[in-house]
Structures are given as C-alpha cells and as structure tokens.
Structure 1
Amino acid sequence: MKQTRLFFIAIAALLISIYACGGDDNTGSGGDTANNNKNMVTVGVPQEVLRLEFPKVKGGTSEVIVHSTSAYGMTYALEWDHTKRAQRWTCFQIYAGNRAKNWARKNWGSTQWGGDPFQRDPKVPANEQPSVRGEFSGSHHPVTNSYFQRGHICASEDRVYSKDANEQTFYMTNMMPQVPNLNEGVWQKLEARVRTLAADSKTDTLYICKGGTIDRDDQILTRTRSGFIVPRYFFMALLAKNKLGYKAIGFWVEHLDEDHSRDNLANYVVNIDKLEQLTGLDFFCNLPDDIENRVEGLATENVMKAWGFNK
C-alpha cells in the first residue's frame, strides 16, 4: 500500500512539473499577472495580437494581417514583411467550435474555381506576392533541381469549418515554397498530428504558430526565380490549454529534398526555449511571465512525455 501511495505521489509531481496552471481566457490571465514582453495594441496593430497564439510582433516594415469570417471570427493571422516580401509566421487556434468539417478541399473542383482557389491576398500589395502560377513550380532546389510547391502554412485541412475560411488558406501570403518531399511528406505528417492533438479530449484549445525562416542568411535555402525567399527550415510552436493548465511543444524541420515521411516525429521535437533560439521569435509572449517561462523551459524529454511522443 505504501508503494502504491508513493507511485501516485510521483505521478502527481510529474503532472505538476509538466503543466503550468493558468486561467481560462484567451489573453493569458492566471498565474502571476506580470508580463513584461506581451504584445501591445498601437496604431496599425490589431487587437488580435493579444491572443495567446501570437508571438511577439516584429514591427518595422512588417505588418500583422488578420483574415476572418463573420460567422467564425479570425481564420488566421500572419506577419508580412513588406521588405522581404515574405511572411514571418502564421498563427491560429483549433478548438471544438472550429473543428467541424463543413467543407472539403475537393469541393473546389465543382465551383467556378474548377480546383484549388489559389489567389493573391487582397490585404497585401500584389507586387509583393508571388504570382499564383509558375513562380514556385518554375524555381528549383539548388542541389536536387526539384521544383517547389505552394506549401500551406495554415493548412487547408485546418480550416474546413466553412467554405470562406478554407478559401482564405489559399492566399499566396499563406504559401511558402516547399519541395514535394517536404510538403507531401513530413510536413503533411506533422500537420495531421497537430489535428490529432487538437482533437484530444483533454485539449480545450490548441494555439498554433507556424512558419519558415526568413530573417537570417544562413537559414535561407535559396530564392525563387523572382527573388522570393525559400526557407531552409520550417517550424511549429504549439500551446495547449486544458483543465490542468498549459503545455507547449516545438517542431524544427530542415527543408530537405528527401523522403522523411516515415520518420518518427519525436525526432523533430524541441522545447520552446530552443525553438526561440533557432528562430529568433518570442513565442506565446502574451502568457504571464511565470507560466511562459515554465512551459517554454521544460526539458525536451518531459515535453515529449507530456505530448505523447516516444523515440
């Protein structure tokens, strides 16, 4: 009996170490309310930047673009760098209310589009965006000479709760060049795992930030024929909220023209502190500092345990 009690005490201690307690709302309440690095709403900066999925906005020549529908609110947001002509990240939420499947990508074939509705983003100058056709497919990997596909950052399948929301995922500002081996391989596998994590009965809301590296020369693989950035790395940062509190996990994927679709996804896991070092981004900055520090600094092996990844 004593051994059984000690076992349950050990399990409880592990859960406390993995989850950081917090409040229930969308703006990071709960815990110590001190927050020295949160986003601020100023002229030209939308109030959505206070949501938990947002990283620290860069500002300067960059602008936060929010896409939404009247029925569901924010579809996703992105930070567009007008000088680099690229998005730095895309962020959004998945929760019970937007997990419904009311639309399918294949349905676009029977609309006036006749297929996927790739189009320029109406909120970004057209001359800053890649052409809808030919820009990526007419450019090639510097080593293997493979062409690039239009790789979604906010996945089409993550926004099938409405036709309008799904259409917004086909804006060219939500695309980054990816070789087919990545786009249809491990990246797609990670996207599917994210949806599985969001559907977990223990998850209330999954806060997601994804993107490709654009800010350091050594993290740029090449450029397309018209000079658009091809990231050398892609990343995902996830924050889950449930009744126990918060937990976070990061993924870091090199843009290789190799088939890694059968890889163990645990090989790509990093904690958020490490992902911030790699990307230069400050994820989940709207959390109270004490919660942010705990969930982001958790040892990677404990992060994997908390999220069900095993090597």
Structure 2
Amino acid sequence: MKTFRSSVYVLSVYLLIVSCARQKIVSTNDSVHLLLGNPTNAQASESVPDNYLIVKPQYALSYNRSKGHANWVAWELSKQWLGSSDRQNDFRPDPSLPASWYKVTPNDYTNSGFDRGHLCPSADRTNSLDNNSATFVMTNMIPQAPELNREAWAYLEEYCRELVAQKHRLFIVSGTYGTGGEGSKGTLNKLDNAVNVPARVYKVITILPENGNINDITTDTPVIAVDFPNKTSQLQNAGWFRFITTTADIEKKTGLTFFTNTSKSIQTSLQAKRFDYVNSSLNVDTKCREYNGKQLFIGKSGGCYYINSNGNKTYVERELCNCQ
C-alpha cells in the first residue's frame, strides 16, 4: 500500500510539473503585443494547428503547422526593448510547439536560395541577450528573398527604430500570404517539403506617442501598411515606400482583421489609411539604396543624399534615389 501511494504521489507531482510547463508555453491574449487585437483570433489549442497562438514575452504569433511558419507575428517596439546586446544568431527549432508536431530547423532553409527572414527583427530586441536570442526560433522565420530581407525590408525595420528614437511607441504586425517566391536560385513553392514559400510579405505599423496607449489611438493615428512581393526580380533598387498600401487591402487579401480592440469608427478609419511619406508629420528620412559603396537616403522633401566622412549630408542627383 505504501508503495502504491508513493507511486501515485510521484505521478501527481509529475503531472503537476508537466501542467505548469504547459501553462508557461500556452498563453492567453493577455499580452502587450496583442494590445490592438488578435488578427485571426488565434487560439492556444492543438485543435487549430493552422492558427495556433504562441505568446512569448518578446512577441506573439499565429503559427501555421501546414505551412511551417507563422501566419503573423505581433510585437511592441519601444525604447525599453532597445539596447546594446549583440545579435545571437542562434537559429533553432521552437520548443514551445506541441511535442507531436514537426519543428522546422535551420537546415530546412539550407541551399534554398532564401534567407531565414525574421518577422520580429533581431535588432528590435537588443535590451538583453535572452530577448535577442528569442527572435531566432524558427517560428519567427519565413523563407524570404535575399534582396527583400537585406534591403527594402531591412530599411523599413530601421525606419521603425528611428521613429522610436524620436519618441514614438510602435505596434507592429508582420506576416505572409500566398505561395511561391523567387530567391537567388529561382522560384520555389516549398523548402525541403517542409516550409511554404510565401508569395507576399506584409507589415502593418501603428505609431503612438512614446507613452501612448490604446486610449490614445484616434482617427489621426499614423499607420504604415506595406505589402511586398517575395520575388528577387521585383525588388531591385526598390524602396519600401514603393509598396505602401492600406490595411484594408491587406485584410482583403489575407482574411485578417486589424485594430479589433479599438472602436468601430477608429478601426474603419485606420484600415483605410494610406501612408503619405512626403506629407507625413513623422520627420524621419529613410534608406533608399546603395550606390558606389555609399548608403543613399531620401528625405521627405525628395532630396537624395549620403552621409560624408564629416557626418554631414552630401546631396546627389535625385534620380539616384528613384526607389519609389
């Protein structure tokens, strides 16, 4: 009898430990990253494997088991997340997926012609080594055309961090739709029979004051919606502003719904906004392209320049910044 009771006790403790571990992995919508809403009403339930909610301290996402990557990733970007921690580059499978599911590995991308492209950027999580490392799990990666990942996409990421430096707080949702991308080795629909190659990659960025919260969102709140082709041939010397669209257009193409935690009137207004880079009140210049080893910037007034050795702007022919 004593042995039986001991066995029951051990089993009970084991189940309690397993339960606690699962509770840490399977979280709810109570996350700062989902402050503006859950675009697909993703659930932390194995019964919805293609809309499976994972909430981490660093970001939240809807995982699609059939595609082997996220439908979308959502995160807050503010000064609290930025620091001087090094990029960790520790790409790895995500242990928070259910044990019985296949977990995409970095090797699934090897020699594919596509980058392991971050949705929530590494450089958006530099306040600690652990937070930076968290961006390198494969559920935060998509097969991304190198020219997109390293140029227009990266320039938009940097633009967002510049906004934070100018005392803004951002809420960002980034995701994919469609099948069939073009990388450095041509067009593919799937990597190693494990990972869908998306046709398009989008981003919706909501811009608040530095200490702003959901109650500060109005019909005048700036929104940047961008929808990129995941195709090398369409991205040569292309600035991110070439692909500006509306959130409503992204919703139509993806089936997602944004801004669900705002009032209906505000939601409708934000969905219809098309970001006007030139006339925006956001006073941040953006990278356009590289030319003769120099990074060229385009200003709101349309000027094209690079930063010289003295740290000053040197203007060049406007045609060199024809990235729009």
**Which amino acid is 1:64 matched to?**
L
1:118 corresponding residue in structure 2: 91
Select 1:292's aligned residue among 238, 249, 267: 267
Give 1:262 deviation, angstroms. Answer: 3.3
The answer (yes or no) to whether the contact 1:93–1:208 under 8 Å persists in 2 is: yes
- SS of the residue corresponding to residue 62 of structure 2 reads strand
Out of 120, 123, 133, the residue aligned to residue 157 of structure 1 is 123
Residue 234 of structure 1, aligned match among 192, 201, 204: 201
Distance 1:152 1:123 in 2: 18
Correspondence for 1:212: 176
The separation in 1 between residues aligned to 2:106 and 2:181, in whole angstroms, is 25
SS of 1:305 mapped into structure 2: coil
Matched, 1:63 2:52: yes
Q: Unpaired segments of 5 or more residues in structure 2?
A: 1-25, 183-187, 284-299, 303-323
Q: Which has the higher contact order (CA 8 A, sep 6+)?
A: 1
Q: Percent sequence identity over matched residues?
A: 25
Residue number in structure 1 paired with 2:65: 82
TM-score normalized by the length of structure 1: 0.69
Provide the residue aligned with 2:247 in structure 1: 272
AA of the residue aligned to 1:65: I
1:129 paired residue number: 103
CA shift in 2, pair 1:304/1:292, >3 Å: farther
Q: What SS is found at the alignment partner of 2:56?
A: strand
**In structure 1, what is the equivalent of residue 36 of structure 2?**
52
Gaps of 5+ in 1: 1-42, 69-74, 109-115, 140-146
Does residue 103 of structure 1 match 2:76? Answer: no
CA–CA distance in structure 2, aligned partners of residues 56 and 304 of structure 1: 32
C-alpha offsets along residues 229-252 of structure 1, whole Å, 9 cap, x if unaligned? 010100000111137742212000
- Structure 1 residues 301 and 178: alpha-carbon distance in aligned structure 2, compared to 1, 3 A threshold: closer
Shift of 1:124: 0.9
Deviation at 1:79, TM superposition (A): 0.6
Cα distance, 1:264–1:226 mapped onto 2, change above 3 Å: closer
Give CA deviations for 1:202-245 in whole Å, capped at 9, x if unaligned: x2x200000121xx558996111223101010000011113774
Seen in structure 2, the aligned counterparts of structure 1 residues 218 and 168 have a Cα distance that, compared at 3 Å, is: closer
Equivalent position amino acid for 2:251 in 1: E
Q: CA offset at residue 175 of structure 1?
A: 0.7
Q: Deviations over 1:3-43 (max 9, x none)?
A: xxxxxxxxxxxxxxxxxxxxxxxxxxxxxxxxxxxxxxxx9
Q: In angstroms, what is the RMSD of aligned CA positions?
A: 2.8
Aligned equivalents of 1:124 and 1:251: distance in 2? 29
Q: Distance in 2 between matches of 1:270 and 1:304?
A: 15
Conserved? CA contact 1:92–1:208, under 8 Å: yes
Q: Does the CA contact (< 8 Å) of 1:104 and 1:160 recur in 2?
A: yes
TM-score by length of 2: 0.66
- How much has 1:51 moved relative to structure 2? 1.4
Superposed, 1:175-194 pairs within 5 Å as: 175-194=141-160
Change (3 A) 1:137 1:219: closer
Structure with greater Cα Rg:
2
Number of aligned residue pairs: give it.
240
Q: Which amino acid aligns with 1:172?
A: M
Mean Cα deviation higher: 169-178 or 282-291: 282-291
Instruction: Deviation per CA, 1:183-206: give whole Å up to 9, x if none.
Output: 2122112211221223223x2x20
In the aligned structure 1, how far is the partner of 2:254 from the partner of 2:68? Answer: 18
Other structure's SS at 2:235 match = coil
CA contact (8 A) 1:136 1:224 kept: yes
Deviation at residue 82 of structure 1 after TM alignment: 2.9
